[in-house]
Amino acid sequence: MSVLSSPASPTTSPNLGSASGLTCRECGARYPLAPEYACTECFGPLEVSYDFGAVTRESIEAGPTNIWRYRDLLPVPSTVADIPNLEPGWTPLVRAHNLGRELGLRALWVKDDSANPTHSFKDRVVGVALAAAREFGFTTLACPSTGNLANAVAAAAARAGIRSVVLVPADLEQQKIVMTGVYGGTLVAVEGTYDDVNRVASELAGDHEDWAFVNVNVRPYYAEGSKTLGYEVAEQLGWRLPEQVVIPVASGSQLTKVDKAFRELGSLGLVEPTAYRIFGAQATGCSPVSAAFKAGQDVVAPVRPSTIAKSLAIGNPADGPYVLDTCRRTGGLVEDVTDEEIVEGIRLLARTEGIFAETAGGVTVAVLRKLLEAGQLDPDADTVVFNTGDGLKTIDAVAPVVGPAATIPASAAAFTAAGLA
Ligand SMILES: *Cc1c(COP(=O)(O)O)cnc(C)c1O
Ligand SMILES: [Zn+2]
């Protein structure tokens, strides 16, 4: 493997805290820390390994109220909290009494990641990718994106004062295009699906070795950012693990990293290593992992996406097989819901908890409901459902079905006459 593809001098070893190297998830081959993502032996994906020092609840609690409180558990320098960044994370874990009551769940929480700086969970992964990329000497942050990642990369690069290059499918929601373009980087719309955009980005990553494609050449570091969702849920529950979690699946990275976070917390003695079940949620219009789960397969057959849940519309999910492993190992499963159910899920969460989710949140809430109705979730177990994005980014999904009860002339009499009192 070529460390020379890094613009940093190959003789300087990057300062990435307790990260000790990269390990192939398939064959276990070990590599030094570098901007590489595939094993040269077997082409398996590389994952960051650590040599954790002493990390205590107190040392974490003394940190900032953002993802950098967990910096000792991430592939970032220990000084990262002091560098200009968007300070993502530490989003609310909302005790959802109303939604729980309506669904017949004894104890339900919503992890509301719409509260991040660019209103999706992607600020977490981009924050870690940028911190690592900086250590490797990169000066351009790039990505292929289904939308939220584009927002997060463009904003983080602006804040860090570096260039961004973002590629998105041309049919993306207008909100996400505007919310990327406003930050002033290079934004390119590609005619095709996300999987086409991803292929173009992979080719460009080969040609531009001085660009950090957050989810391509620095993907092992980027992916670790999702662990912070798991850490936060456990800390916000009072340093314990939930019993059931429902997580959306696009590439599948987030779901596998929440599991990694729960296991790390247990083995570091920061929580009791109690049992938990992880449930994956997909849109039926892009459900390759759910289909593989139901068919009892270990491999995921690619699909061509067609769903309103565009942030989850990855037809060829890189971490699909690991999602299958994780859900099977923990006793969970993967389920999918139709676009109609997604819209109902968005409205249900908004109506019961005052949280306006994007379509991905509609997917998890609808899957939560479907699994409960099918008896596949324990109604007495402590349950967390993830809302990973903001409904303002996917207005079109609900605009046709919500609106004014009436349009009236400007008088109180007209209000009374409309029968709304
Ligand atoms: C990217 C994204 C996800 C899931 O990401 P993975 O690729 O599975 O890690 C979930 N929700 C939203 C809103 C996203 O933008
Ligand atoms: Zn390998």
Ligand 1 atom with the smallest distance to the CA of 248 is 10
Is the Cβ atom of 356 under 6 angstroms away from ligand 1?
no
> pLDDT tens digits for 224-261?
999 999 999 999 999 999 999 999 999 999 999 999 99
Is the domain of 179 the same as that of 296?
no
Q: What is 68-128 written as a DSSP string? A: GGGGGGTTS-TTGGGS---------EEE-HHHHHHHT-SSEEEEEGGGSTTSBTHHHHHHH
pLDDT at 5: 43
**Terminal alpha carbon distance of the chain:** 71
Considering its fold, how many domains does the chain have in total?
A: 2
Whether the CB of 229 sits within 6 Å of ligand 1 = no
Tell me how crowded residue 65 is: count the other CB atoms within 10 A of its CB: 10
> Is the C-beta atom of 252 inside 6 A of ligand 1?
yes
Among 388, 392, 393, which residue has the most ligand 1 atoms within 8 Å of its CB, making it the best to mutate? 388
Are 277 and 303 found together in one domain? yes
pLDDT at 28 over 50: yes
- How much distance in Å is there from the Cα of 34 to the middle of ligand 2? 16
| CA 415 to ligand 1 centroid distance, Å | 43
Residue 32 domain flag: yes
For residues 197 and 272, membership in a common domain is answered with no
Residue 177 · residue 248 · CB < 8 Å: no
- How far apart (Å, rounded) are the C-alpha atoms in residues 205 and 335? 34
Query: For 198-232, how does the pLDDT look when each residue is reduced to its tens digit (9 = 90+)?
Result: 999 999 988 998 999 999 899 999 999 999 999 99
Among 48, 72, 50, smallest CA distance to 61 is for 72
| Alpha helix stretches (DSSP H) within 161-248 | 174-181, 194-207, 219-224, 227-236
Handedness of CA 120, 250, 356, 353 (dihedral sign): negative
**Is 148 a pocket residue for ligand 1 (Cβ < 6 Å)?**
yes
Whether residue 141 sits in one domain with residue 113: no
pLDDT in tens, 94-143: 999 999 999 999 999 999 999 999 999 999 999 999 999 999 999 999 99
Q: Using most ligand atoms within 8 A of CB, pick from 278, 311, 319 the residue to mutate for ligand 1.
A: 311
Q: What's the confidence (pLDDT) of residue 150? A: 96
The Å distance, Cα 322 to ligand 2 centre, comes to 15
Q: What is the mean pLDDT of residues 349-374?
A: 98
| CATH assignment at residue 216 | 3.40.50.1100
Residue type at 420?
L
pTM for the structure as a whole: 0.95
Pocket lining: 103 vs ligand 1, CB cutoff 6 Å:
no
The secondary element (H helix, E strand) that includes residue 414 is helix 412-417
Q: Which domain holds residue 186?
A: 19-82+120-222
Task: Return the number of other C-beta atoms located less than 10 Å from residue 295's C-beta.
Answer: 9
CA–centroid distance, 100 to ligand 2, in Å, is 44
